Amino acid sequence: MKEIPLSERPRERLKEVGGENLSDIEVLSIILKTGTKDKNVFSLATELLKKYSWEELQEISIYDLMKIKGIGEVKAIELLASIEMGKRIFLRHSKELVKMDNPKQIWEDAKYWFWGLKQEYFYGYYFNHKQQLILRKRIFIGTINQASTHTREIFRQAYQVSASYIVCLHNHPSNDTTPSQADQEFTNHLFQTGEIQGIPVVDHIIVGENGFYSFYDHKL
């Protein structure tokens, strides 16, 4: 860093122009702090972003990070903590309840939760009687193959927040939102259970990066 003029160093630029005006490499350089004797921090940040996209960094492990020369355990932990903080800020619950009354609106809210994921994630969106969202909750990770176990957890969360109804969402990593046979069977199971429990599941949305499939829209 010493060879870089003070005014062009990432920390100084952040103070002068704000973080939103920094490049990806500059932001990552601030988090990494230092490079090695053979590689300055800019080179280290550039190497990391060439090897992994931002989407891949969301799911990266400490062991993968430590395979890069110049990133030891401490640096890897600090970077993972920064990524986790970013996720929590982005996904924080709004104090003001938001009304959502159609599948597209729900997909627009939810799609970033699923961005870049390499396996299926299943979420429950829980609403009050005014169609206001009161809770987003990740229920499980993986394919839909344990209907009874998953269904109990979905409705347990509904009782905890006194939800009036539920919308379920999961992604297809392929971005093909066509429902599988398992998706259809599980959706039928959810709807039937909701009728019995008195907390209707009004939709099951399959999420893709560029579109969605709504069982409600297809009258299923």
The predicted pLDDT at position 109 comes to 86
The predicted pLDDT at position 39 comes to 87
CATH code of the region 6-90: 1.10.150
Cα dist. 163→94, 104, 131, 135, 147 in Å?
17, 21, 10, 9, 21
Predicted TM-score (pTM) above 0.85: no
Q: Where are the domains of the chain?
A: 6-90, 98-214
pLDDT, one tens digit per residue, over 14-44 is 888 888 788 888 989 999 988 888 888 989 9
pLDDT at 10 over 80: yes
Superfamily of domain covering 98-214:
Cytidine Deaminase, domain 2 (3.40.140.10)
Q: Tell me the mean pLDDT in the region 114-118.
A: 81
